[in-house]
Amino acid sequence: MAAAAGGGWAAVREKFRAARTLSAVESRKDPETEPYRSKYSARALLQEVKQLLSAAEEGGEARLLAVRRAVLEYELGVNHTDTEELSAGEEHLQRCTQLLEPHRLSPDCVSLYIQAQNNLGILWSERDEIKTAQTYLESAEALYNQYMKEDGNPPLDPSEHFMAEEEKLTDQERSKRFEKAYTHTLYYLAQVYQHLEMIEKAAQYCHTTLKRQLEYCGYYPVEWALNAATLSQYYLSKQCFMESRHCLAAASVIFSQAEQAPSAEDNETEQDQQDLRQRRAEIARCWIKYCLNLLQSARKLLEDNIGELDPDRQSELKAQRKKEEDEKEKGRKKAVLFGTSDICDSVLAMEEKVSSVYPLDFQEAREIFLVGQNYVQEAKEFFQVDGYVTDHIEIVQDHSALFKVLAFFEEDYERRCKMHKRRIDMLEPIYADLNPQYYLLISRQLQFELADTYYEMMDLKVAIGNRLEELDSHTIKKINSLAQLAIKYYELFLDSLRNPDKVFPEVLEEDVLRPAMVAKFHIARLYGKLITSDSKKQLENMQTSLEYYTFLVDYCKKYPDAVRAVETELELSKEMVGLLPTRMERLRAKLCPFI
């Protein structure tokens, strides 16, 4: 190493180091008018280093020189990419990988090679060539795996090729940097898969990225926890409750670490505290959705064709569960487990608190419900109605949904009815205080849900009544009043669709078409359910009912596009429109038998 031997080598190292500092640190302070000033200075320095190296080419060790040149090509490649000169950037990066190709699996080259491929991936993604980007990143991934299998020792960091012997990094530091480069490979792949709409793979790579952040301590606890909680929601939509719970448990554990950690500075502001409380509430909301989805999915599995719990299904699923418990789940779990052993224990303890298998009876459902309800309280502590109307109502709606699904598991009709009453009690006051000018859509949701709930309660009262020998007046009154309330809220909903002149729209917009038709349909049916001994009144109710059924039929005749939104309802309405007049005729005949 002729040139490198003396002060020349020291100068080279110094220049290289200066270039890196310019590029990474100084460039952030560049003025807007010259955003790449430091990058360009860094580039000039790198060119000088390259010159000096070529001069030394003669007597040097070929391999060592090749690797150093590759480092320079890499730095130049990144520099050109950063300054939006993609073609030049690509050339440099390609030269880098060509130089390294023969040695890419050796400890002095592997890290650089992977980073060069990462950058080629980014470069091609900026050219909208996502498939090419994928090729580079996947080959980086494969190289990492091969290296770890064949060698596995912490490889050199690229910067070490321009360091004096005494500056060289420790194995620990080498490993940290190498793993970090690979974490980026995975993170970039996650995005590539996302753009290619390979959602499952994208999620898997996000998961691995999170996992590696935890393992190599490269994370901010609050941010990490929030990301894990968000990922749990992905798993929810895929019905992967075990994975979802694992993400949430890890999120809660890591988050509480952040809360407990003595705040780095004592001058933590009120705002920071507030932010932290909000994040906690956000995670609680993710937990609520977990409980809710788990219960709702279980209901779907268990319900028979009239929406009641099917006991055969129930025992079948219980038997099946016993068999599966041991085998499958443990295998699945290994792949996604977060964290080092110390965190692991806390996460497992957290998981213990709520099941991740479908609840199959009331007792099991209730336990999940209670966990969900606790998180509702926690979330509401931050998201109070005064200040966070939208969020608060969303949480209350979830609470109501929790009661609703729990009611499915409850066998006793009276108790089931009480659960629905709880929903009414939480929704009605919120609805009453809401100004529909600013919360039109939420108002409509609440109107609809209140109507549905009253309807449900009425149905239950009817079912209870049917078990009695004879309907007593109290039950009849109850049934009628519930039906009237249901009608009231459906009507309020329909009124909300009217224009300022109070005119009902002739054409219903796509997003309210089905709800509006269903509201009309339900009102029709509710009028048919009202109980009265006064035949005249009964005729009136039947007439009203007929009018509402007719609305559906006429509307669909006029706008055939609407049919597919309400196919079944339309069929039934048509039948009723056919049957009701006959029925009314009979009733009239009975009223005035002599005409």
Partner 1 sequence: MPINKAEKPDKPESCDNVKVVVRCRPLNEREKATGYKMAVNVDEMRGTITVHKTDSSNEPPKTFTFDTVFGPESKQLDVYNLTARPIIDSVLEGYNGTIFAYGQTGTGKTFTMEGVRAVPELRGIIPNSFAHIFGHIAKAEGDTRFLVRVSYLEIYNEEVRDLLGKDQTQRLEVKERPDVGVYIKDLSAYVVNNADDMDRIMTLGHKNRSVGATNMNEHSSRSHAIFTITIECSEKGVDGNMHVRMGKLHLVDLAGSERQAKTGATGQRLKEATKINLSLSTLGNVISALVDGKSTHVPYRNSKLTRLLQDSLGGNSKTMMCANIGPADYNYDETISTLRYANRAKNIKNKARINEDPKDALLRQFQKEIEELKKKLEEGEEISGSETSDSEEEDEDDDGEIGEDGEKRKKRRGKAVVIPVSATNLLLSSSWCQKL
| Residues 366 to 425 in contact with partner 1, rule: CB under 8 A | 385-390, 397
What are 309's strand-pairing partners? 303
State in angstroms the smallest separation of the CB of 571 from partner 1: 9
Contacts (CB under 8 A) with partner 1, residues 517-576: 518, 520, 525, 530-535, 537-538, 547-548, 551, 554-555, 568-569, 572, 575-576
- Output 171 or 495, the one with its CB closest to partner 1: 495
Distance CA 291, CA 367 (A): 10
* Residue from 53, 231, 354, 556 in contact with partner 1 (CB under 8 A): 231
Which helix or strand (DSSP H or E) is residue 586 part of? helix 567-591
Contact letters for partner 1, residues 440-469 (x by CB under 8 A): xxx-xx--xx--x------x----------
Using CA atoms, how far residue 387 sits from 120, 177, 207, 382, 445, in Å, is: 48, 45, 34, 10, 20
State in angstroms the smallest separation of the CB of 567 from partner 1: 10
* Residue from 185, 227, 252, 545 in contact with partner 1 (CB under 8 A): 227
State in angstroms the smallest separation of the CB of 5 from partner 1: 37
State in angstroms the smallest separation of the CB of 384 from partner 1: 10
At 444, is the secondary structure helix, strand, or coil? Answer: helix
State in angstroms the smallest separation of the CB of 272 from partner 1: 13
In sequence order, the 6+-apart residues with CB closer than 8 A to the CB of 504 are 494, 497, 498
Distance CA 255, CA 448 (A): 37
Distance CA 28, CA 35 (A): 8
Segment near partner 1 (CB under 8 A), from 91-99, 168-176, 206-214, 320-328?
206-214
Q: Does 283 bind partner 1 (CB under 8 A)?
A: yes
Helix axes 311-336, 270-302, angle to 10 degrees: 140
Segment near partner 1 (CB under 8 A), from 67-75, 140-148, 156-164, 276-284?
276-284
- Output 333 or 537, the one with its CB closest to partner 1: 537
Segment near partner 1 (CB under 8 A), from 12-20, 65-73, 139-147, 485-493?
485-493
- Output 363 or 533, the one with its CB closest to partner 1: 533
Q: Are 45 and 76 in contact (CB under 8 A)?
A: no
Q: Does 276 bind partner 1 (CB under 8 A)?
A: no
Q: Which of 358, 363, 336 is nearest to 347 (CA)?
A: 336
What are 303's strand-pairing partners? 309
State in angstroms the smallest separation of the CB of 206 from partner 1: 5
Q: Does 35 bind partner 1 (CB under 8 A)?
A: yes
* Residue from 47, 132, 139, 230 in contact with partner 1 (CB under 8 A): 230
State in angstroms the smallest separation of the CB of 515 from partner 1: 4
Distance CA 489, CA 229 (A): 36
* Residue from 79, 117, 185, 293 in contact with partner 1 (CB under 8 A): 293
Contacts (CB under 8 A) with partner 1, residues 492-511: 492, 495-507, 509-511
State in angstroms the smallest separation of the CB of 276 from partner 1: 13
Contact letters for partner 1, residues 36-55 (x by CB under 8 A): x---x---------------
Distance CA 290, CA 235 (A): 9
* Residue from 62, 352, 437, 592 in contact with partner 1 (CB under 8 A): 437
In sequence order, the 6+-apart residues with CB closer than 8 A to the CB of 21 are none
State in angstroms the smallest separation of the CB of 339 from partner 1: 17
Distance CA 74, CA 113 (A): 9
State in angstroms the smallest separation of the CB of 169 from partner 1: 22
Q: Which of 233, 285, 277 is nearest to 255 (CA)?
A: 277
Contacts (CB under 8 A) with partner 1, residues 123-152: 125-126, 128, 130, 133
Q: Does 102 bind partner 1 (CB under 8 A)?
A: no
- Output 43 or 161, the one with its CB closest to partner 1: 43
Q: Are 71 and 78 in contact (CB under 8 A)?
A: no
Distance CA 205, CA 183 (A): 10
Q: Does 210 bind partner 1 (CB under 8 A)?
A: yes
Contact letters for partner 1, residues 302-331 (x by CB under 8 A): -x-xxxx-----------------------
> What are 366's two structure tokens?
């209730």
State in angstroms the smallest separation of the CB of 43 from partner 1: 11
Q: Which of 17, 90, 24 is nearest to 49 (CA)?
A: 17
3-state helix, strand, coil in the chain (%, to 5): 80, 0, 20
* Residue from 435, 592, 593, 595 in contact with partner 1 (CB under 8 A): 435
Q: Does 172 bind partner 1 (CB under 8 A)?
A: no
Distance CA 142, CA 148 (A): 10
Strand spans (E) along 385-523:
none
* Residue from 288, 354, 402, 407 in contact with partner 1 (CB under 8 A): 288
Using CA atoms, how far residue 312 sits from 301, 306, 321, in Å, is: 11, 14, 14
